[in-house]
Structure 1
Amino acid sequence: MFGWRVPLPDEAMLISGGKTSEKYSAPFRVIIGHGAFVVPVFRKVEFMSLSMHEAEVADTCVTRQGISLKVKAIIAFKVGNDLESIVNAGQRFLSDQAQMAVLTGRIFSGHLRAIVGSMTVEEIVTERQKLAIAVLDTATPEMAKIGLVIDSLQIQSIDDMGAGYIDAMAAPHVAAIQRQAQIAQAQAAQQSAEAAQESERNQAEYARQTAIVKAQYKAEVDRAQAESAQAGPLALANAQQEVLMAQTELAQRAAELRQQELVSEIVRPAEADAERIRILAEAEAERMRIQAAAAASHDRVALDRMLIEQLPLIVEKAAAGLERANVNILNGADGLSEVAAGLVGQGLAILETVKKGIDKDDKPQLPA
């Protein structure tokens, strides 16, 4: 809209040519945060910046000890937000707002030299914040008169310009710090060495445990492989042993059978032959006995003698038949005796039968 003006959030709009601020006898009206209608031609509008500004101070100051120091500081300032500060700043800097930084630097330079002159180098170096607070305390009222407020003051650097005083002052501290640094470095190196040794011990212990476990596993595997490798030969040996035992038992049975065969083939026939000889001998003896008895008898005896003479032949024939027969003798020598006695009995029976036949057919007359 024509004639309607609005300041920026960080600006104050100053309207001159009309109603003014009676409270501070300002030649203009101050508008902040809202717009206002400005009659063209009859009113004039200017804007005052309320944003942050910066001023730098770099000045040579002499301490209470007479030592020259170059001190560098940075001041952050702005126009105050209140109506009085805006009016004061507007009346001084509205036409050339860049002069605010120049004037601020000069003001702080003077106060900085005065404060440094009341302090020692040690205080300035070690208590920079104390120096900054002292400068602020002395410069703030003066800055307020021109409508400016200080946000911060920072001491950037302090230099003795090659005199070596600050370095000499710092030497004991530097040596102490270096000594502490060396001690700390040595302790750190020792701790590092101990940690490395502990790590090596842990690794060695782990390697030992691993080697033990591997050896145990290998021993178990080797034992299992050995048992597996021996299982085949052992089973073969057991099988061979069983075969040998079976063959031995079979050989024993074959030997027993052969022994029985030898007894049947050699011993039994020999025993039968011996028994036959004995029977023949007994028959011969019997014959001789009969002949002896017949010698004292009548003519009948002569006939019996003839028959008795044939008894050995009869028994021999019977024995010959027995020899050719397959006879199993179950009770050894007693069995043979029984067989022989049977042969003799058989021979005597034959003889008796012959005698009876003769008596029946033709009974001879024996002489008296």
Structure 2
Amino acid sequence: MGFKTVTPNEALIVSGVCINNNKGGNNIIVGGKKWIWPLIQKYSILNLNTMSLEIVSNNVNTKLGVPLTCIGIAQVKIGGKAEQKLLQKASENFLSKDTFQIQALVSETMEGHQRAIIGTMTVEEIYQDRKTFSENVMRIALEDLKALGLVVVSYTLKDIRDNNDYLRSLGMGKTAQVKCEARMGQAEATKISRIKESMAHKARMEQKYINDLIVAESRRNFDLIKAQNEQEVKTQKAISDLAQKLQEAKTKQDVKNAEMAVKVAERKRQIEIQGRKSSFSLIKIKIH
């Protein structure tokens, strides 16, 4: 036969005589080549690519007896180069099987575990917590598939269905609950908004009242100061008018006094002149 070469995603399983394997069993080569002796040795190839499988469990009773259909997606592969023990187990279990037979066996195993987990949970638990459901399925499947030389890369619950409208009723109930909560939330928000609006209006009115008081106080003070100023102006004007009248009276009196002094002086002068005339007449008489 000569050399046989396989790619990194394939395992070459060599069996027969002259197998260099101290632990017994098949000689396994991953991503390499091997000389195959004709007649005394034979080989098979296992595909190590990840298998994507749809796991369907139809009408399985849940914990409370409600039939449910669950569809999961599992990613499974045969152990790789670093997992020689798993490869050895896989070679023992799948050496004579093709890819479709391997997928059928894995799907059947996974479906059994999926069915078992459905029976331990309620519809509500599965519907509301798919992550826990997926983790439970993967946890119990790991050991069984590991015994076959397989590795579960991932498992996800893809879809949930039922034929009795249970999920639809559950959804309607949830929708009604959400709508009710939304209405209650809206009513609460409206109430809070109105309370805040009322408080804001009250605060505005209180501030307006305070402002009005301040304005009234300012106006009263202004009017008071204005009245005081006007009174002071009137007082000053009255004082000024009185002073002016006093000055005018004083001036008139001074004028009268001056006129009187002039008259007195004139009278004195006339008297002196008259006296002199009388003296002169007496002198003339004596001479004659």
TM (normalized to structure 1)? 0.49
Q: In the alignment, which residue of structure 2 is the partner of 1:142?
A: 144
Residue in 2 that maps onto 1:71? 70
Equivalent residue runs for 1:17-166 within 5 Å: 20-23=20-23, 25-30=25-30, 38=33, 49=48, 53-63=51-61, 67-80=66-79, 81-89=82-90, 92=94, 101-113=103-115, 116=118, 121=123, 132=134, 135-136=137-138, 139-161=141-163, 163-166=164-167
1:61–1:177: structure 2 CA closer, same or farther, 3 Å change rule? same
Q: 1:193 to 1:260 in 2, by over 3 A?
A: closer
Deviations 1:281-329 (A, max 9, x none): xxxxxxxxxxxxxxxxxxxxxxxxxxxxxxxxxxxxx762559xxxxxx
Once the two structures are superposed, what CA deviation does each residue of 1:133-178 show, in whole Å capped at 9, x if it has no partner?
66446533431233112244333332222x1334556777766665
- Cα 1:261/1:205, change in 2 over 3 Å: closer
Consecutive unaligned residues of structure 2, counting only runs of 5 or more, are 38-42
Once residues 272 and 142 of structure 1 are traced to their aligned partners in structure 2, the CA distance between those partners, rounded to angstroms, is 166
Distance 1:261 1:123 in 2: 131
Higher share in strand: 2
Q: Which has the larger radius of gyration?
A: 1
Q: Determine if contact 1:7/1:47 at 8 Å carries over to the other structure.
A: no
Identify the residue that residue 320 of structure 1 maps to in structure 2: 274
Query: In the aligned structure 2, how far is the partner of 1:246 from the partner of 1:66?
Result: 121
User: Following superposition of structure 1 onto structure 2, how do residues 341-360 of structure 1 map, counting pairs within 5 Å?
Assistant: 354=286
* One-letter code aligned to 1:259: K
Query: CA offsets, 1:177-214, max 9 Å, x none?
Result: 6555544443333223223333343444455556666x
Percent of paired sites with the same residue: 18
Could you say if the C-alpha distance between residues 257 and 112 of structure 1 is closer, same or farther in structure 2, counting changes exceeding 3 Å?
closer
Change (3 A) 1:28 1:189: same
Return the letter of the residue paired with 1:144.
Answer: K
Distance 2:251 2:127 in 1: 126
CA deviation after TM superposition for structure 1 residue 259, in Å: 1.5
- C-alpha root-mean-square deviation of aligned residues, in Å? 5.5
Matched, 1:259 2:256: yes
After superposition, where does 1:191-206 map in structure 2 within 5 Å?
A: 191-206=192-207
Query: Number of paired residues?
Result: 268
- Counterpart CA distance in 2 for 1:112 and 1:69 is 12
Q: Which one has more relative contact order, counting CA pairs under 8 Å at least 6 apart? A: 2
Seen in structure 2, the aligned counterparts of structure 1 residues 120 and 245 have a Cα distance that, compared at 3 Å, is closer
- Unpaired runs of at least 5, structure 1: 277-317, 324-342, 359-368
Q: Deviation per CA, 1:101-153: give whole Å up to 9, x if none.
A: 55433322244345546766567557766755664465334312331122443
* Aligned 1:261-276 pairs, distance under 5 A: 261-266=258-263
Q: TM-score, length-normalised on structure 2?
A: 0.59
Contact in 1 for aligned 2:76/2:153 (Cα 8 Å): yes
1: distance between equivalents of 2:71 and 2:34? 48
Which position in structure 2 is the counterpart of 1:282?
none
Q: Distance in 1 between matches of 2:135 and 2:192?
A: 45
- Measured in 2, the distance between the counterparts of 1:208 and 1:165 equals 63
C-alpha separation in 2, matches of 1:209 and 1:98? 89
Looking at structure 2, the residues matched to 210 and 58 of structure 1 have their Cα atoms a distance apart, in angstroms, of: 77
Using the alignment, how far apart are the partners of 2:153 and 2:112 within structure 1? Answer: 19
Q: Which amino acid aligns with 1:69?
A: L
- Give the aligned residue type for 1:85: L
Distance, in Å, in 1 between the alignment partners of 2:276 and 2:12 is 176
The alpha carbon displacement at 1:83 in A equals: 0.7
Write the distance in 1 (CA, Å) between the matches of 2:34 and 2:173.
Answer: 72
- What is the deviation of 1:57? 1.7
TM-fit CA distance, 1:82? 1.9
